[in-house]
Chains A and B, each alone.
Chain A
Amino acid sequence: MSGAADLLRIEGLTKAFPGVVANDDVSFAVPAGRIHALLGENGAGKSTLVKMIYGLVAPDKGRMQLHGRDFAPTSPHEARSSGVAMVFQHFSLFDALDVAENVALGMETPPSQRQLARRIREVSEAYGLPLDPTRLVGELSAGERQRVEIVRCLLQDPQLLIMDEPTSVLTPQEVEILFSTLRKLAAEGTAILYISHKLEEIRALCDSATILRQGQVVATCTPSEKSARELAELMVGATLHTPSREPQEGGEVVLRIHDLSMRSANPFGTALKDIDFELRAGEVLGIGGVAGNGQDELLAALSGEARVAAEAVTLKGRPVGQMGPTARRALGLLAAPEERLGHAAAPDMSLTENAVLTGTVREGLTRHGFLDWGKARGFAEQVIERFDVRTPGPGQAARSLSGGNLQKFVIGREILQRPEVLVVNQPTWGVDASAAAAIRQALLDLAANGTAVVVISQDLDELMEISDRFAALNEGRLAAPRPAKGLGIEEIGLMMGGAHDLDTAARAAE
């Protein structure tokens, strides 16, 4: 590790928040032209670390150097002008504006729309990320939206590009395109800081890795020389067990979806078209598909947030399509939406209050309309304990929890209510390896006890690991479910219909 060639050098960086030390004496270096991984569980301090590099958080102690010069950005603006760019896990794009307008919004002095559109075309083609500057962002797939974010960064000619969990919304084919783009950028001398918990990806892509655990650097290694299991165990600090289950005998049909069609409540959403499937007790149905193909709408139609024709959804022979969420819950149809903050949980409410959110009917948390806070607290404590939610207590606000911990709480809250049918959307999105394994195992245990489970996810490895049958959502239509055993990942990728512009993309990337 020679000091001169390092583009970014971090020494002894420490940041404490009330109650936690997010980063404790963290040091590492990224040379120009290298792809460096930042690996760690949720809450290990990866986000805080990159926020310091990007000027969103000021460190308490320690030193950062960019090109051998001291670097202490006080704002993202300052970081950007020093050549640091970042693609966030959550996109900050406006659906109603076109691509070029969205890009212009992030610029200090945007050129004319014509010039900008030309630049966007040039850059996107040069890096194999085909993008039409005149299309509305609302019409783009998640993968294409990410391209907008990446192109927006590339227009600044960054020397350091930070990518936060970039592949969670991509199909396998899109991941390959992204990787070739990143490799090309690295070959041109850009340093890339790549945050992920997908170990196989890191092994395939990254030249070096820094592994964080509880705010401290526990290892620095070359990922291709380690197995995924070794990396995961370094990250978690314990041995991992993969979820396992006994093969299931299919029970009686508990949920039947018949000719389910529904318009989306969101003007840029996807309408559901003639969806048909049956689900048996004890079965896990995996529903794959690229984001924005009707996943949110399907969950809403099943949870009761959206009303549909009464006969479109039948639960144990009983039509429930016209019922709201509370009535469906009473009958045993429970759901956990994708968006944790603001949908599955109220950010500023305590965990106890969030336990009340879905638990009133089945847990008997009210008497004559009056809430039994003692009982609600007990229920919240039970979820926290059974699902290993790391938090000081049920009085904590939901938004103070890390993503993985809140996800464990949200899923655990539904599982503990002993559902007949549980529908989950993206159960492990943005969740670290050990928490994800725990959530998957919990879903499998639930199925083993006779609950029918629908898992909507964009993580194919996850779907293959836990599904009995697999179906793909594509533009609001659901392909007929097929047994998951024996399906190849390539085949599934094509089932998901993520292949529309891949040929051009692959050609441009070469």
Chain B
Amino acid sequence: MIALVRRPAPSRLWTVLTPPLAVLATMVAGGLMFAALGKDPVLAIRTIFWDPLFGEFAFYYRGQLLVKAAPLILIAIGLSLGFRAGIWNIGAEGQYILGAITGGAVGLAFYPLDSWIVFPLMVVAGAFGGFLWAMIPALLKVKFRTNEILVSLLLVYVAEQLLAYMALGPLKNPEGQGFPGSRNLSQYDAAANNELIAGSGMHWGVVAAFIAVIAAYVLLNRHLTGYHIRLTGQAPRAARFAGVNPNLLTIFCLGTSGALAGLAGLFEVAGPAGQISIDFNVGYGFTAIIVAFLGRLHPVGILLAGLLMALTYIGGEAAQSQLGLPAAAIQAFQGMLLFFLLAVDMLTNYRLRFGRAQVA
């Protein structure tokens, strides 16, 4: 018989140990799934985890790693603040889209002005767009006690419609021969979010992601607001007793995560994606939720988790093209990662007891 016994205090060892263990379990279970699909499991796992970092074409993949990880980290850092306080922003994807639209629109409005001021204005506008979109669930929650999970999630679909309208209408490239999508921002120098060092993958979004990691760390560990966030998540009644205003905290957490998601959208649309198109978004806003939890809602953990998740994306794509694995298998593989992480997480607060308790 196996029994779960609650630990008197969360185990520090297991807090650190569970993510690698979950990755390992994912490799085993994923390998079995790949084998069942008739692929060589070792080769598949190698293609996903090893080749992008150390294989023949690693010089290309490593840059891609940063490009993919940056928006995930940026969004996940914002989400983690709310998640720590029990405020669940599930609609980062929508805020990400809005940031891309507002930031991109500012850039397009200045076209073809060549001034250094254009890009900073786009950054501000992108953050503000995400912030405003997040204020909808925030204010509805504060005023009418609506559930922020539902409101923020449903607003994603509204944002997608808005994006389609913008890409086909107001923001469409007038010189685009009728093709949908805006002008290519990455070819408009004053607005482009290009690589800072050629071939490195390092763009302003990566810089912003690193700054966000550090800022979130300082906020949570050194600032009263961060303390109030943690307190609210752990003991809401104690937080009210301490004087935390739950409404202000809701607005702060949703606003910050919205602004960071908007920033990520702007950096994406001005750089790697290049233009506002119907489907430039690829679900970073949702994947970031996984990244936030994979990183245990800790800034440094999120940094590592974002890189790991980006790796499975890049490796997954490579496995699709090189081994002919179906895209669904890669998604299932990523799902396993979250599943195992949550399952193994039990060990932090509980320990396993095997066999019957003996009274000697």
Contacts and interface: CB of A to CB of B under 8 A. Distances in A.
**Range of interface residues on A (Cβ < 8 Å):** 35 or more
Interface string B238-252: 111111010000000
A366 B224 contact: yes
B358 interface: yes
A422 to B, nearest CB: 14
B313 to A, nearest CB: 34
Contacts, number: 87
Interface string A349-368: 10001001110100000100
Interface in A426-465: none
Contacts of B360: 60-62
B238 A369 contact: no
A304 B358 CA distance: 51
Contacts of A349: 230-231, 234-235
Contact of A360 (B224, B235, B238, B359): B224
B223 A343 contact: no
Contacts of B145: none
A343 B243 contact: no
Interface in A88-119: none
A151 to B, nearest CB: 29
Contact of B8 (A17, A335, A366, A373): A17
Nearest to B3: A74
Contacts of A70: 359
Contacts of A326: 242-243
B222 A371 contact: yes
A358 B227 contact: no
B242 A74 contact: no
B357 interface: yes
A49 to B, nearest CB: 14
A108 B353 CA distance: 25
Interface in A246-272: none
A324 interface: yes
A303 B237 CA distance: 13
Main SS of the interface on chain A? mixed
B55 interface: no
Nearest to B359: A72
A356 B227 contact: yes
Contacts of A63: 359
B234 A325 contact: no
A486 interface: no
A347 interface: yes
A337 to B, nearest CB: 6
Contacts of A304: 243
Nearest to B226: A371
A373 B357 CA distance: 43
Contact of B223 (A74, A324, A369): A369
B242 A369 contact: no
A346 B222 contact: no
A59 B245 CA distance: 46
B237 A348 contact: no
A324 B243 contact: yes
A237 interface: no
B331 interface: no
Contacts of B223: 369-371
Nearest to B231: A346
A59 B224 CA distance: 43
Given A18-B8, A58-B359, A400-B8, A344 B225 contact: no
Interface string B214-230: 00000000111101001
Contacts of B326: none
Contacts of A325: 240-243
Contacts of B238: 342-346, 357
Nearest to A324: B243
Contacts of A400: 8-9
Interface in B102-123: none
Contacts of A58: 357-359
B356 interface: yes
Contacts of A60: 360
Contacts of B357: 58, 72, 74
A305 B243 CA distance: 7
Contact of A74 (B234, B235, B245, B356): B356
Contact of B241 (A18, A59, A343, A369): A343
Given A62-B359, A325-B243, A357-B242, A346 B227 contact: no
B10 interface: yes
Nearest to A366: B224
A397 interface: yes
A18 B234 CA distance: 25
Given A58-B359, A59-B359, A64-B359, A369 B225 contact: yes
Nearest to B230: A349
B224 to A, nearest CB: 5
B360 to A, nearest CB: 6
A59 B155 CA distance: 55
Contacts of B358: 58, 72
A80 interface: no
Contacts of B227: 353, 356, 371
From B235, B356, B357, residue with most partner A Cβ within 10 Å:
B235
B222 A303 contact: no
A324 B224 CA distance: 17
A18 B9 CA distance: 11
Contacts of A360: 224
B222 A370 contact: yes
Contacts of A358: 241-242
Contacts of A335: 241
Given A305-B240, A370-B222, A357 B231 contact: yes
Contacts of A348: 10, 234-235
A335 B243 CA distance: 12
Interface of A: 17-18, 58-64, 70, 72, 74, 303-305, 324-327, 329, 335, 337, 339, 342-349, 353, 356-358, 360, 366, 369-371, 373, 397, 399-400
Given A58-B357, A347-B234, A400-B8, 13 more contacts: A62-B360, A72-B359, A325-B243, A342-B235, A342-B238, A345-B238, A346-B231, A347-B235, A357-B238, A358-B242, A369-B224, A371-B227, A399-B8
Interface of B: 3, 8-10, 222-225, 227, 230-231, 234-235, 237-243, 245, 356-360
Kindly list the 5 A-B residue pairs having the minimum CB-CB distance in the complex, ordered from nearest: A58-B357, A326-B243, A72-B359, A325-B243, A346-B235
24 contacts: A17-B8, A58-B357, A58-B359, A64-B359, A74-B3, A303-B241, A305-B240, A324-B245, A329-B243, A335-B241, A343-B235, A344-B238, A346-B231, A348-B235, A349-B235, A353-B227, A356-B227, A357-B241, A357-B242, A366-B224, A369-B224, A371-B222, A373-B222, A399-B9
